[in-house]
Structure 1
Amino acid sequence: MKNNYGRYIVITLITIIIFLFALTVKSYAAGLPAALQETVTGTVKDEAGMPLPGVTVTVKGSNRGTATNIDGEYQITVAPQGTLVFSFVGFKVMEVPVDGRGEINVRLVEDITALDEVQINAGYYNTTRRESTGNISRVTAEEIELQPVVSPLQALQGRMAGVEIIPGGSHPGMAPTIRIRGTNSLREEGNYPLYIIDGVPINATPVETSSLAGYTGIDPLSNLDLNNIASIEVLKDADATAIYGSRGANGVVLITTKKNPGVGSLIEARFYYGTATAPGRLDLLNTEEYLDIRRRAFENDGVEPTARNAYDLLLWDQERYTDWQDFLIGGTAETTNANLTYSGGNETTSFRLGGSYFKQSTIYPGDYDYRKMSGNLNLRHRSIDNKFNLQLSTNYSRNINNLVGNVSFNAGTIFLPPNAPAIFNEDGSLHWEDWGVAGLSNPLQGFFNQSTTQTNNFITNVALSYEFLPGLQFKTSLGYTYFDSQELRKQPRRSYNPSGANTSNSSHIKLNRSSWIAEPQLHFRQSFGKLNIESLIGATFQENENSLERFQAIGYVTEALIGKLAAAERISFPRRENSEYRYIALFSRLGLNWDKKYFLNLTGRRDGSSRFGPNNRFANFGAVGTAWIFTEEGFIENNLPFLSFGKLRGSYGTTGNDQIGDYGYLDAYEATTGPGGLYPTALANPNYSWEVNKKLEGGIELGFFEDRLRLGVSRYQNRSSNQLVGYPLPYTTGFSSVQANLPATVENSGWEFEFTSFNVSNKDFAWETSFNFTFPRNELVSYPDIEQSSYANTYRVGHPLNIDLLYEYTGLDPETGFYTIRDVNDDGRYDYNDRLIIKDMNRKYFGGMNNSFSFKNISLQFLLQFVKQEGKLSNFNIGRINNILKEALNNEDSYQTITQSYEGYLGSFYTQNSTFPYRNASFLRLKNISLNYDLPLQYIETAGLENFRLFLHGQNLLTFSSFDAIDPEQQNPTSFGNLRSITGGLQINF
């Protein structure tokens, strides 16, 4: 076997089959006279161009056949008018007419209908769609690798039931919000899922920044190369997540990187380039319309315009028009991606080495961009007897994010009057004069500030295993991660009004995160007749270290010296934090199945976390999952032949949550600004303990007509109790809060529907449709004495966490024409006692529908995303110094009379927090569309290539919504997190 090259590591069973086929090839040729036969040779490969060993090649209508060797090669005798049939486990059967040819090369397409062959990563073990007792959603590389996004989470939008992902903003690298089956914790940081990359957990907390990405922070997954991701699994129910204990309360996101699937060598090069623009526009007034409204406002009020209350009418140019949307968000962002990988190896050792470059600019005025350089290595080795296995996975990336600091390009500037003065002078400097005469600052004050954030991310994992006895295997996983971020924000004097006493300053942030993890495990697998047993027991040892340092340097003499600390006049506001987190656990799993028909999965874990006091440091978590494949029963097979697959499953269990700050159970102190002093910053509470999340689920999975139609329905109910929060304290205590458990229970429940249809599947044309639909519900089930707590004006028992407490809008005053709201207690003022209307701001339902078409060498895929929700309008006070939506003019009977008065402003101010501005913000979006063309096989082989593909990809191209917004997904008019993009490129394998 030395120096024998080919593809795929051959397992024992396949080797035996190949050997048997090789021994009997001659006997298969006996079916036809030799004079009527000819020898046909060729190679069988997969879609990536890699040879497939062990493929069965038969002559249709006869018992003659053979199998491909380890290089994917075959030889068979067949009549010139015969037909060859190629079949292999996990791939679609292909029939090819011979037509007198002496060489026939084919490529097999993966058969995704083979439920037993689709491997699902369940964390510490693998399972299949058929045998899984838990709820696990999965997407593969084909669905995500061509999307021009920075975070892999954004590539999941609309593709998974029960998984909500909302982009954090349109700036590259901003952290999106992910919710797996809803919001469980009252704390924002208590809702992050567990991220695991190749077996190594990483910190899910967004990285602190003072740039435009500061609203959500920098996504810790933004360093990953999408081209290197093989699959993403999301674990949702108790059966799937309980084995992760306290880390799996909010779901688990498992990211697996690509590996070389076998032997042989392959070079894969991919390049694409694209452009992106803002996803939509607001319908605002032009200068003529705006000035007409302003003049009417003064006429209606009987007030004379002055330079103070009407500078837009008296001081600013009446003929000037600026489309502020065009100016601020009308640019074109360019995206460039280049990826190169090399795979090679022999039958015992294989590797995959890759690197990529990604660059994306912004749609905003100014020279800002995001760059990502990454490299990865995956190495696999096994002993000749297949008892010892080693797998090494290493990923490194460096990001450079250049963004402006302390400037808003959104709401406040988009609604500027259309005749407002220029932002810049002819020489490119900020314009101040015409803004100053109105007593205003330039709205892009700070424009020349620049924030550069450089991050380095290193993730590596070594997995070792050795089979001592048949069915008994020892495994260990050793992982290490290192993440550092260094940010420098430069604030030159020219960013600010020269009439002020401004200096050139800089802001510095340094962050380091490192962790190591070791997980020894013992796996056992054995069968006793119809009883099949799979079990494992293991331990986790993990340690994280985090440090944060930030300060400001003030008073640089020249702009060229900004950032050089020795040139600063002084250092101000220094802050340094260091923390250490240790985690230990024991976990086990027992999986039983009887005759591949009845399944029972038991998991348990005992966790210990350094974030709790000595008396509450350990907790137990576990789950039970069951499944019954009822189509294996005789009475189903005999009476319902159209039902090809049917499974009932259910699970119940508990997971925990320790996502709180470190050392909260201890008193904390910081050094005083003067020497030798300390002052207390946190109050000790050694008694708080774990949040507990109890999860209950039931589901049914059905397949019809040989699984051409599949349907999955899940009903879930999760309850999170013993909520960990920073409980606010009176100022008289000297502390703002103390870490504590609150007697609150949050429930998330809902229905999930998943449907797949293989509509057409033949030699030349295939059409597949998949659909997912989620009805979520979130509720604060109980909170004793909430009225006496600091959350009295935030939450309501019996309602979701994400609510707005609103005044009741009572229409227009018939005398003044102004907005009115109800004063519930008639005390002459409006406060939270009058906010009795509870508005649910959660999504009512959401989902996506994906269609895939293929015709010969052309394939087309498109994904439709849909969401049912409400949103909130802004700027509907007609007549004041700001632009407005034209909707207000087109529906004057519903809007306040045109006025610039303070009384009118006050009515609008309160009405903004009433039921009035809420509208249907539901949308249907063409989320993704991809068109691919593969060069025909004969041309590829002539050029000495394995594959040549051209592709065109569109994202967020069309959005249908009645809500007047740039992006209705954000539920307000001016925010947006998605860009409309088109990219094109090519992929070459050789």
Structure 2
Amino acid sequence: MKNNYGRFKIIVLISLILLLFAVTLQASAGNTLYVKGLKAPQKEIKGAVTDQQGSPIAGVAVYIRGKSSGTVTNLDGQYSIRAVPGDTLVFSYLGFQPVEIVLEQQDQLNIQMEEDISSLGEVEINAGYYNTTRRESTGNISRVTAEEIELQPVVSPLQALQGRMAGVEITSGGVSPGAASTIRIRGTNSLRTEGNYPLYIIDGVPISSIPIESSSLLSQPGIDPLNNLDVNNIESIEVLKDADATAIYGSRGANGVVLITTRKGADMGTSLETRLYHGVATVPARLDLLNTEQYLDIRRRAFENDGVEPTENNAYDLVLWEQDRYTDWQEFLFGGTAETTNANVTFSGGSETTSFRLGGSYYNQGTVFPGDYNYRKVTGNINLNHQSRNNKFNLNLSANYGTDLNNLVGNVSFNANTIFLPPNAPAIFNEDGGLNWEDWGAAGLDNPLQGFFNNSTTQTNNLISNIGLSYEFLPGLQFKTSLGYTFYNSAELRNQPRRSYNPADATTNRSSHLSANRSSWIVEPQFIYKESIDKLHIQALIGATFQENSNLRESFQGSGYASEALIGNIGAAEDIINASRGNTEYRYAAVFSRLGFDWDKKYFINLTGRRDGSSRFGPNNRFANFGAVGAAWIFSDENFMQSTFPFLSFGKFRGSYGTTGNDQIGDYGYLDAYEATRGPGGLYPTGLANPDYSWEINKKLEGGIELGFFKDRFRFSLSRYQNRSSNQLVGYPLPYTTGFTSVQANLPATVENSGWEITFNSLNIDHDNFRWETSFNISLPKNELISYPDIEQSSYANTYRVGHPLNISLLYEYTGLDPETGFYAIRDVNEDGRYDYQDWVVIHDRNREFYGGLSNNLSYKNISLQFFLEFVKQEGSLTSFSAGTISNSMVEVLSSVDGQGPLQQISQSLASRTASRNALNTIFPIRDASYVRLKSLSLAYNLPRNLTETIGMRNAKVFLHGQNLITASSYDGLDPENPYSVAIGNLRTITGGLEINF
């Protein structure tokens, strides 16, 4: 850690010296623009540039044709330039038709620019080590901009991407703020869960995408490492998918790359931007469960059917508990309202050579669960860009810092066991607010919310910083280097007071402590060369990567605190137990290159390659090579196409093939591994050495077509991909007779992900004051284990099946209701009188059949409306089909009262419970869980410009936003996004806010 800090200080010192040198050069050059050959007296020309709706356009290039003088418009669209009568003034801006005006004697010149639809494809796209455009890209890159991200009240930017990108599947980690979402880019490639995370890169700096460990309600999904980012500060998010786009990242690009670019400062002038919104969030759905009268009627019928007399032991709900009491446990557990507040302030500005942006934000979200819990986040960011007057030297500095505090209930699980409590069950709390042990204890039960007063507090701090320096030595030859440093710290304390547990258990006050530190530095020097020879254009890049990561994890428990107020104070604990500490380091080095050719901007070839070295592999296989080739042909530029199909404004074929790798495994896996015994002085083996295992390899093949019609008013793209991941790297279990539990090894398995991706964008109406745009995407993925020699003899024999997806369930065969007992029946395949893995003959695919989204943006004068629909085709499972036991059920079980429904006979017997459990492991509970969700809706009104200028504002906007408003689905579970569990994936959020710019 100290060495890393020292390196960081050296990097900062060098950067500050270079910055000081650049500023000195600028100061010595002066602030006057000199124009060669200008003899006539100049005068100042002022004006403003607006679009067809009268809104100012910032960043418009304003220059004199044939001369070197020029400027850009500020945030108000205003400009000032010195010229003489007879000069031709040119106004140019991406996405708009250029304007040329020959100056006469005027001093004021206001310009209105018309949108050029055909140039929208020229917007720059971040491809990682280089930039490209939609038109010239040979790879498959999806992009979401700030306008789509900032409108959503989310903690992590990943949550804002759901359904918006073809081939990118994101599922929520739950309703607790801070939970990590699951992201899969074109499917599951690895047999290991941790082997499927994509690479995250923020402003050129890679960070670990693996969720941070937690012992709170977030223990299952983990903590999202992107939580500390300010969503309002994100300019765009690009996702690289195919080999052409990802191979330059070598061993880190197998699962795709997520590039996050933060915002930069204004080119001219200064601006103060503020945004504030406040709202509420609730759980949008409920299970349709039995009320008290229905439940008790079912229970009594169960005893009648079984011929058994209810007693205090087998029917305490009928004998001991009140018969007219009703508690809606869903409302009790997650019926609260979580308030959400966000405030963001940004100050930006710049001159012709320097721009800056300073920002800060505050975010607060409550909880829907019982108790006073909340999540708070504070972020700060800075971005500085400077270039010399001759445009040869450039400096870019970005730093993003965030800290959050997540206060959650400890380790109480608000799960199905509590949701399905009998509706006449006793109260959870006494009148004094303590847990009710007496009424539950009378039935021989613990309070179902045992541990409720446990409190988990997790604080994280995250710094992501980067300095980019570049200098053009010769025309077309540029040296560039990127220096990054990241630090992530997580400290979690879980208090477990005695009053959370049954007094009869004599539990003491306890605490659990968990901390994690992640730090890394990276240096990436590069040479970039560009050359044009007639119609041939060449772009070359060669660079190197040097990176080091350090990870530290510590945990222990304290017990025996004299009072609840002392919990967490280690000095007051009687005992410190289960202490553990782990420290790992990861070193990575690589050389990479890119060579891009195009002829006449119609024929493109892109070659990328990388040689990687990783400390996670043994000395026998520490280095590996990866590469790809991509090609594209813009056939719409051919003369015969333009004359034959005049309505076709753009047409491109593209394709790519290449290899990427995966080194997402634990550190030091090639060495023998031992852990300390609980007793003093002992070690026990956990991992066997294997210096020969090598990289997972992902071979990616893709072809696609992109079309534009009627000056690109309608744009369509179709992609077909096939990715094969082989040489699967897992911890292979070993027999205990070896003395080791596992060995890191390559398995002879190949996983294939293939599919189709379709996107469509249209400008439906663009007339006077009304505009309507639509975007659509759909993904049809397929996952398959296509090869695994001798899988029957492996430890995965009962997990996977060759020819089927990785995400499957191996199930019993359901044969209907037993005519003798009326209970669910399954087939005993080998007729051995028992049900085990040998009877798993049904293979159920748990993957989505297809998914996508539909977005519409409408604007009329100062009013804008945006709404986004997410849709998924899939199946899911319901979990409550038994009727008659001491557990509530779906109202569907009422159909079995008369014995005519598809459900088994009402019974409270052991045989019925066993039959019900077995049936849950068949296709019987499988249901259609497809859904269409109104994911987001935004309504905004821009205050009239004459009003805002009167009160000293540049512009002001009020807005109303809704998230997860309506879900249309035949699925009867809580949330079809999580169709195989009783879990809540999303909250319905409604917020209102105000945005003001000065």
Whether TM exceeds 0.5 here: the answer is yes
Distance 1:700 1:464 in 2: 37
SS in 1 for 2:122: coil
Farther off after superposition, 726-735 or 205-214: 726-735
Query: What's 1:500 paired with?
Result: 505
- In the TM superposition, 1:116-127 aligns within 5 A as 116-127=121-132
Distance 1:884 1:107 in 2: 65
Whether the 8 Å CA contact 2:931–2:968 is kept in 1: the answer is yes
Could you tell me which of 556, 560, 572 is aligned with 1:555?
560
After TM superposition, give the deviation of residue 601 of structure 1 in Å. Answer: 0.1
Query: What's 1:89 paired with?
Result: 93
Whether the 8 Å CA contact 1:843–1:867 is kept in 2: the answer is yes
Query: What's 1:925 paired with?
Result: 933
Query: What's 1:908 paired with?
Result: 916
Query: What's 1:715 paired with?
Result: 720
Could you tell me which of 983, 987, 990 is aligned with 1:979?
987
Whether the 8 Å CA contact 1:48–1:947 is kept in 2: the answer is no
After TM superposition, give the deviation of residue 21 of structure 1 in Å. Answer: 14
Q: Give the 3 Å change call, closer, same or farther, for CA 875–105 of structure 1 in structure 2.
A: farther
Query: What's 1:54 paired with?
Result: 61
Whether the 8 Å CA contact 2:685–2:741 is kept in 1: the answer is no
Whether the 8 Å CA contact 1:122–1:240 is kept in 2: the answer is yes
Q: TM-score, normalised by structure 1?
A: 0.92
SS in 2 for 1:859: strand
Query: What's 1:634 paired with?
Result: 639
Distance 2:724 2:877 in 1: 30
Query: What's 1:329 paired with?
Result: 334
Q: Give the 3 Å change call, closer, same or farther, for CA 920–92 of structure 1 in structure 2.
A: same
Q: What is the identity, as a one-letter code, of the residue corresponding to 1:54?
A: A
Query: What's 1:375 paired with?
Result: 380
Could you tell me which of 421, 433, 451 is aligned with 1:428?
433
Whether the 8 Å CA contact 2:862–2:944 is kept in 1: the answer is yes
Distance 2:888 2:109 in 1: 68
Q: Give the 3 Å change call, closer, same or farther, for CA 305–674 of structure 1 in structure 2.
A: closer
Distance 1:898 1:663 in 2: 56
1:308 aligned onto 2:313: yes
Distance 1:600 1:475 in 2: 23
Note the residue ranges of structure 1 that are not aligned, 5 or more in a row: 1-8, 10-14, 27-38, 59-65, 77-84, 96-100
SS in 1 for 2:318: helix
Query: What's 2:20 paired with?
Result: none
Q: What is the identity, as a one-letter code, of the residue corresponding to 1:603?
A: T
1:943 aligned onto 2:951: yes
Distance 2:489 2:319 in 1: 53
1:989 aligned onto 2:993: no
Distance 1:684 1:544 in 2: 22
Q: What is the identity, as a one-letter code, of the residue corresponding to 2:975?
A: D
Query: What's 1:897 paired with?
Result: 905
Deviation per CA, 1:681-739: give whole Å up to 9, x if none. 32111111100000000000000011011100000000000000000111222222111
Whether the 8 Å CA contact 2:266–2:349 is kept in 1: the answer is no
Whether the 8 Å CA contact 1:44–1:68 is kept in 2: the answer is no
SS in 2 for 1:213: coil
After TM superposition, give the deviation of residue 674 of structure 1 in Å. Answer: 5.0
1:191 aligned onto 2:199: no
Distance 2:693 2:603 in 1: 41
Whether the 8 Å CA contact 2:97–2:115 is kept in 1: the answer is no
Distance 2:55 2:583 in 1: 47
Whether the 8 Å CA contact 2:398–2:465 is kept in 1: the answer is yes
Could you tell me which of 476, 486, 502 is aligned with 1:471?
476
After TM superposition, give the deviation of residue 279 of structure 1 in Å. Answer: 2.2
Distance 1:17 1:447 in 2: 73
After TM superposition, give the deviation of residue 814 of structure 1 in Å. Answer: 1.5
Distance 1:819 1:116 in 2: 59
After TM superposition, give the deviation of residue 411 of structure 1 in Å. Answer: 1.2
After TM superposition, give the deviation of residue 677 of structure 1 in Å. Answer: 4.2
1:162 aligned onto 2:167: yes
Query: What's 2:838 paired with?
Result: 833
Query: What's 1:270 paired with?
Result: 275
After TM superposition, give the deviation of residue 111 of structure 1 in Å. Answer: 6.2
SS in 2 for 1:327: helix
Q: Give the 3 Å change call, closer, same or farther, for CA 75–625 of structure 1 in structure 2.
A: closer
- In the TM superposition, 1:215-614 aligns within 5 A as 215-614=220-619
Whether the 8 Å CA contact 2:557–2:578 is kept in 1: the answer is yes
Whether the 8 Å CA contact 1:966–1:976 is kept in 2: the answer is yes
SS in 1 for 2:913: helix
Distance 2:235 2:56 in 1: 17
Distance 2:278 2:114 in 1: 28
Query: What's 1:681 paired with?
Result: 686
Distance 2:980 2:795 in 1: 27
Query: What's 1:966 paired with?
Result: 974
Query: What's 1:82 paired with?
Result: none
After TM superposition, give the deviation of residue 940 of structure 1 in Å. Answer: 1.6
Distance 2:58 2:658 in 1: 44
Whether the 8 Å CA contact 2:374–2:406 is kept in 1: the answer is yes
Distance 1:696 1:985 in 2: 46
1:955 aligned onto 2:959: no
Could you tell me which of 122, 140, 144 is aligned with 2:149?
144
Distance 1:281 1:48 in 2: 46
Query: What's 2:662 paired with?
Result: 657
Whether the 8 Å CA contact 1:518–1:542 is kept in 2: the answer is yes
Q: What is the identity, as a one-letter code, of the residue corresponding to 2:328?
A: D
Note the residue ranges of structure 2 that are not aligned, 5 or more in a row: 1-25, 27-31, 82-88, 100-105
Deviation per CA, 1:23-77: give whole Å up to 9, x if none. 9999xxxxxxxxxxxx99545489996744435999xxxxxxx99865544799x
After TM superposition, give the deviation of residue 600 of structure 1 in Å. Answer: 0.0
Deviation per CA, 1:789-819: give whole Å up to 9, x if none. 1111100000000000011111011221110
Whether the 8 Å CA contact 2:117–2:712 is kept in 1: the answer is no
1:799 aligned onto 2:807: no
Q: What is the identity, as a one-letter code, of the residue corresponding to 1:956?
A: N
After TM superposition, give the deviation of residue 17 of structure 1 in Å. Answer: 15
Whether the 8 Å CA contact 2:117–2:713 is kept in 1: the answer is no
Q: Give the 3 Å change call, closer, same or farther, for CA 680–21 of structure 1 in structure 2.
A: farther
Whether the 8 Å CA contact 2:895–2:903 is kept in 1: the answer is no
Q: What is the identity, as a one-letter code, of the residue corresponding to 2:967?
A: T
Whether the 8 Å CA contact 1:331–1:365 is kept in 2: the answer is yes
After TM superposition, give the deviation of residue 406 of structure 1 in Å. Answer: 1.4
Distance 1:923 1:675 in 2: 56
Query: What's 1:764 paired with?
Result: 769
Q: What is the identity, as a one-letter code, of the residue corresponding to 1:984?
A: G
After TM superposition, give the deviation of residue 104 of structure 1 in Å. Answer: 9.3
Q: Give the 3 Å change call, closer, same or farther, for CA 163–51 of structure 1 in structure 2.
A: closer
Whether the 8 Å CA contact 2:96–2:119 is kept in 1: the answer is no
Q: What is the identity, as a one-letter code, of the residue corresponding to 1:89?
A: Y
Whether the 8 Å CA contact 1:18–1:68 is kept in 2: the answer is no
Query: What's 1:934 paired with?
Result: 942
Q: What is the identity, as a one-letter code, of the residue corresponding to 2:959?
A: F
SS in 2 for 1:325: helix
Q: Cα RMSD (Å) of the superposition?
A: 2.6
Distance 1:596 1:570 in 2: 72
Q: Give the 3 Å change call, closer, same or farther, for CA 793–959 of structure 1 in structure 2.
A: same
SS in 2 for 1:242: helix
Q: Give the 3 Å change call, closer, same or farther, for CA 21–694 of structure 1 in structure 2.
A: farther
SS in 1 for 2:330: helix
SS in 1 for 2:269: coil
Deviation per CA, 1:906-932: give whole Å up to 9, x if none. 111111101100000000000011111
1:848 aligned onto 2:856: no
Whether the 8 Å CA contact 1:91–1:108 is kept in 2: the answer is no
After TM superposition, give the deviation of residue 382 of structure 1 in Å. Answer: 0.7
Q: What is the identity, as a one-letter code, of the residue corresponding to 2:371?
A: G
Q: Give the 3 Å change call, closer, same or farther, for CA 20–865 of structure 1 in structure 2.
A: farther
